[in-house]
Chains A and B, each alone.
Chain A
Amino acid sequence: MNTKLKIFSEQMLVVLNIFIVFLLLFENKLILPYWLQPIGRMHPLLLHFPIVLLMLGIISDLYTTKKGNANTSSYAKITGLLLLAGAILSGVTVIMGLFLVREEGYNGGTIAWHKWFGVVLFFIASIMYWIRKKRWYSPAVSRLCAFLIAPVLIVTGHFGAAITHGDNFLLQPVAAHIQKSRVPVDQALVFDHVIQPLLESKCTGCHNPQKLKGELALTDSLAIVKGGKTGKLFIPGNPDISLLLERVHLPVAEEKHMPPEGKPQLTAKEIELLTLWIRDETPFSQKVIALPEDDSLRILATAIFNPDEEEKFDFPAAEDAAIAQLNTNYRTIAPVSKGSPALNVNIYNRNAYSPDQLQELKQIEQQVVSLNLNKMPVKDEDLKIISSFKNLRRLDLNFTDITTEGLNALAPLPHLKTLTLSGTTLSYPALKEKLPSFKALKTIAVWNTSLSAKEMEELQNINRQIKFIEGFADDGKNPLKLNPPQVRNTSMVFANTLNLQLMHPVRGVQIRFTTDSSDPDSLQSAIYDSNTDITKHTTIKARACKEGWYASDISVFHFFRNSFIPDSVRLLYPLNSVHQAEGAHTFFNTKLGVIGANNPAWANNWAGVRNNDLVLVGMFYKPVVLSSVGLHYMLEAATGIYPPAEVEVWGGNNENHLKRLLVMKSPKPVKGEQASLKIVEGSFKPSTVSVVKIIARPYREKDKGKLLLIDEMFLN
């Protein structure tokens, strides 16, 4: 290095020393011109250089002076340079710091400590640089300097960081965690444990007694009440004109917005907490749980104390091999979540259950936290096996064969929080005696047990800490209406006699019915039994009745008799392309259609014509005696589905020699007539026929045919 420059630097160091002493002496009289303020504000930028240079310098010096290190003269040079640069820069940093501290908002203990440590650091560094050239400078002295400079450097840096980031910046996450888990909600104060931590996490980095930005500290209640340079932060009870909230609500880009752009912002929940806290004029000594139960502030605050954190289990994990081996088709074992040692166990399939399934679980007794035995034939003695599952949190025993006696085995389980006993046999006196020994129990399900409502209320009163789940029991006060009876017969079309099969899904229901189209009632009408037969077209009206229920709506079933099915059938003209159904076989397949033929899914049982007649020829190998013919059709005037305008029935022994047996007409639908299924039927003198020809003519309006849909024909 240029000798001139070196000499100049050394002189510079001396000047700096003198200047700093001067500054320190007349600090209070110093008035800083505005154009020097940026210099002061560069303090946080520059301070990193001396830290590094001095550190390097002392390390290098330790190495240079160590005995046995030959050829160290070039090292000594570099060390000198490092220390010189470090000392000069620390001097400049100190000056900048002294400038900066003149600005408003910097005072307090930490600033003073930071200042004096910084100054001392600079002096020691300067001294070290000078004495290095002395002959008596030995490795021991070098070490002494190193051990002086390093700690002072660290302490200065730490105080500096505390000023910038807040007092307990470094340990805050740890402290917050400890604090959170330490204050139980029933002791928490709204200010100390809700509002204060919030301010500490987002505001006190700048608004603390050391930094006092805007002359405001938010570190304690007094300072908060006092407010800052612009005035009081809020008037209790009036969040609308609060300065605090105004700053919070300003757009982020706004200069006055708090916290400043780039710093962690308040969350919506935190803002709401602050607003509620101000609105409610909450005293600083207010306890969270002393607030009314439905108070918004309380609800929000409680949520902070009961964060939905995962429960940490401190027992060791079971061996994977053991778990894999115990995992069977009827016993599922799975960790609560990834990496958790805790295991959930579910046992399924009543027939496959045996107590051994529990016995085998002893291998992992420490890890089982929930066990589901719902509906398994678990006996009281099986519960003794469970008594060693000491980390069990939840046990499901709904609809098992256990009794209150068996519960003794469970009482010692130290963590058992949830127990479901619905559908088991429980005795009130025994349960009353035992429940208090379940120390950890929080929830118990006791629906559908022999306990009466009153007994459950008693139990609840004695065991306030436990939540009793009761559930639905029919008190008979709100009877329901039964659903209507159903028909079980596979087809509504029968040949000669039909055994009527009505049913109702509810146990113990009486079905009352009529065959004469009158409405059945629940007292007089015939009671259905399985011996009811019908032999002709019959309309059955039925309703279901049962004590404790309202009688059902009436269901109506139309049964049709069709004595003869032709051995062969054919159509002389084609069917409408959409309504083909099963072609000519449609009419004798015993499948009835339903209303709504335009819905293709339901259209299948309807065969239809529109622009031509429907002419069906049926043949019998053996002649039959025919006396009536009926056609079952759909009427849905709104969609243009009309009855047959005219039906002719011809019969005889030979297709070429047929006699007209019957002519029928059905009336045109009247305007607005409801959609329905109807039958057009007529009888004639009994005639022996081998061939029957049925002609059905659709209605025509304005030269256009109306759709005619027929699903079945009845030949009797």
Chain B
Amino acid sequence: MEKEFFEHGITWNRRRFLSTLSLGIGSVALGSLLMPDLFRNGMADDETITPGIPQFAPKAKRVIYLFQNGAPSQQELFDYKPKLREMTGQEIPPSVRGNQRLTGMTANQASFPLVGSFVDFKQYGESRVWISDLLPYTAKIADELCIVRSLYTEAINHDPALTFIQTGAQQGNRPSMGAWLSYGLGNENKNLPAFTVLLSRGVGNGQGVYSKLWSNGFLDSVHQGVQFSKGEDPVLYLRDPDGFNRRDRRDMLDHLSKLNELSYKEFGDPEIVTKIKQYEMAYRMQTAVPEVMDLSKEPDDIVKLYGPDCLVPGTYSANCLLARKLSENGVRFVQLYHQGWDQHGNLPYEISRQAKDVDQASAALVTDLKQRGLLDETLVIWGGEFGRTSYTQGTLTKENYGRDHHPRCFSIWMAGGGIKPGIVYGETDELGYNIIKDPVHVHDFQATVLNQLGLDHEKLIFKHLGRRYRLTDVSGHVVRDIIA
């Protein structure tokens, strides 16, 4: 390293400096003529972004994202389509299907018969919103929910769609939503990571989750999602080995940080500072995590609220309870993934089981946050990566059918965090195939989430490889109509 500095010093003489400088100034001047924003924008970076502080007063301080991995079918859960039921068995009209590309799984299918929901819907709450019989507990909190029936995405397969909704790009290597929030808002509790991830799986056909979904991308690695697992060690490698006490750990860390500081002085790599900070936080997490994981102080009613599975580590229900505890302890972004929603076939059986897995605990989480006065500052999101087709995949029988991937519309719900409660936003056609009112692109959804946390999605940027990156890439509008 020192050698390079030295060589740099002798090769850069005055003539070279001046000639390069003149060229540089000239091109900058020309550039500023062509792009009037060049300088102003450059300044704006520094002026508008203060990582760790919201840009304007936020409605929500934290997010809990109940991700339904595999894409739950909207037709059986939130988007009631009586007409689709009537037309079950009929071919989908080409005018409705349009030029939507198909997945490899149904591309060779000879016919595309429509299929309505096997399950009934009823109206609930003061908002009289239609909710499926598969979700009796969710139905009870209908007046807390903002159901968006008009979300749409660009990807048609799980991996790109998941990556898209989580990171704003289909290809990966970008920071996840939680990482952006960690970057934008910082830790509320310095003893826990700002972004945590919890996984569970149901009996339905599952799709993988990969750690790239909670990646920090090009952001500092402190913003990476930390996975809490179900075993004895919720956070891996956090526990001291046997025969090693906290004082030993303290000594070791003190010495290690001295070494790290030395190497930082030599190389100036900011990742070293990050590392020192991370070790220190891990040390504090050694006491903070057990406090969070401890269920013994939970009131008895909590078990009845979430259902008894909340005491079985690794279940969706337990993860919801844990999500509440983490959020309550200042974790900015708690991301759950529940696998098993990919009902290409055997949908009626599988979706019933999946819905049963998540229904009570999802509703319980909202209720629980509310009764602690936390719902107004916590945004809860429930939803998958895309929707499912209105026609069947495979053979349609009286009792059984499946649905393929459908990016054109899907339903999610949000609660709390300054989102209007008790409303339905957006509308799909009678067959639940196309959006006919108030479409919400994935970037619009992301922009809205950031907005609720006091971040302007156009200003929360990070410069990397000469380009300014945002969670919403180059588009996205805040959906003002769903904001309270």
Interface positions of A (Cβ within 8 A of B):
308, 310-311, 329-330, 332, 334-338, 340, 344, 346, 348-351, 372, 374-375, 396, 398-399, 418-420, 422-423, 443-445, 447-448, 469-474, 480-483, 486, 505-507, 549
Contacts and interface: CB of A to CB of B under 8 A. Distances in A.
B188 A346 contact: yes
A469 B144 CA distance: 13
B253 interface: no
Contacts of B58: 336-337
Contact of A337 (B54, B190, B308, B370): B54
A480 B57 CA distance: 42
B303 A469 contact: no
B301 interface: yes
Contacts of B448: none
22 contacts: A308-B484, A310-B57, A329-B284, A336-B57, A337-B58, A340-B57, A348-B191, A349-B191, A418-B376, A422-B373, A443-B373, A444-B373, A445-B373, A448-B299, A471-B367, A471-B372, A472-B304, A472-B367, A472-B371, A480-B307, A482-B308, A506-B303
Q: Which of A344, A351, A422, A505 has the most CB of B within 10 A?
A: A505
Contacts of B355: none
Contacts of A310: 56-57
Given A444-B373, A473-B301, A474-B305, 6 more contacts: A337-B53, A338-B50, A448-B299, A472-B364, A506-B308, A549-B308
Contacts, number: 124
Contacts of A420: 372-374
Interface string B366-385: 01101111101000000000
A248 to B, nearest CB: 20
Contacts of B288: 348-349
Report the 6 A-B pairs with minimum CB-CB distance, sorted nearest first: A471-B371, A505-B311, A445-B373, A420-B373, A447-B371, A310-B57
Interface of B: 50, 52-59, 61, 186-191, 284, 287-288, 291, 297, 299-301, 303-305, 307-309, 311-312, 328-330, 364, 367-368, 370-374, 376, 418, 454, 483-484
B346 to A, nearest CB: 13
B303 to A, nearest CB: 6
Nearest to A350: B291
Interface of B is mostly: loop
Contacts of A334: 52-53, 186, 188
A308 B483 contact: yes
Contacts of A473: 301
A472 B301 contact: yes
B373 A398 contact: yes
A14 B63 CA distance: 78
A351 B290 CA distance: 12
Contacts of B483: 308
A312 to B, nearest CB: 10
A536 B191 CA distance: 50
A375 B292 CA distance: 11
A469 B308 contact: no
Contact of B330 (A346, A472, A474): A346
A429 to B, nearest CB: 23
B53 A335 contact: yes
A398 B330 contact: no
Contacts of A418: 373, 376
A348 B311 contact: no
A552 to B, nearest CB: 8
A483 B371 contact: no
Nearest to A473: B301
A419 B190 CA distance: 24
B305 A472 contact: yes
Contacts of B61: 344
Main SS of the interface on chain A? loop
Contact of B372 (A329, A348, A422, A482): A422
Contacts of B372: 374, 398, 420, 422-423, 445, 447, 471
Contacts of B368: 471-472
Contact of B371 (A348, A351, A469): A469
A348 B373 contact: no
Contacts of B191: 329-330, 348-349
A301 B84 CA distance: 37
B374 to A, nearest CB: 8
A474 B56 contact: no
Contacts of B59: 308
A471 B366 CA distance: 10
B308 A448 contact: no
A483 B309 contact: yes
Nearest to B299: A448
B55 A346 contact: no
Indicate the member of B54, B187, B288, B304 with the most A CB atoms within 10 Å.
B304
A420 B378 CA distance: 15
Nearest to A599: B206
B418 to A, nearest CB: 8
Contacts of A480: 304, 307-308
Contacts of B311: 505-506
B57 A445 contact: no
A348 B189 contact: yes
A396 B374 CA distance: 9
A419 B370 CA distance: 13
A246 to B, nearest CB: 22
A310 B370 CA distance: 23
Given A348-B330, A420-B373, A505 B57 contact: no
Contacts of A372: 330
Contacts of A486: 312
A418 B308 CA distance: 32
A422 B373 CA distance: 8
A469 B53 CA distance: 30
Contacts of A344: 61
A449 to B, nearest CB: 11
A480 B307 CA distance: 7
Contact of B53 (A332, A338, A346, A396): A338
Contacts of B54: 336-338
B302 to A, nearest CB: 8
Contacts of A338: 50, 53-56
B373 A396 contact: yes
Contacts of B309: 483
A337 B373 contact: no
A330 B304 CA distance: 32
A426 to B, nearest CB: 14
Nearest to A294: B126
B472 to A, nearest CB: 20
Contacts of A336: 54, 57-58
A482 B311 CA distance: 11
B371 to A, nearest CB: 2
B345 to A, nearest CB: 13
Contact of A332 (B57, B190, B300, B484): B190
Given A348-B288, A396-B373, A448-B371, A423 B57 contact: no
A46 to B, nearest CB: 32
A180 B329 CA distance: 39
A505 B308 contact: yes
Contact of B329 (A308, A348, A422): A348
A349 B52 contact: no
A340 B57 CA distance: 9
A346 B57 contact: no
Nearest to B206: A599
B315 to A, nearest CB: 9
A507 B190 CA distance: 33
B289 to A, nearest CB: 11
A565 to B, nearest CB: 27
A418 to B, nearest CB: 7
A190 to B, nearest CB: 21
A311 B57 contact: yes
A329 B328 contact: no
B454 A374 contact: no
Contacts of B287: 349, 351
B65 to A, nearest CB: 21
A448 B454 contact: no
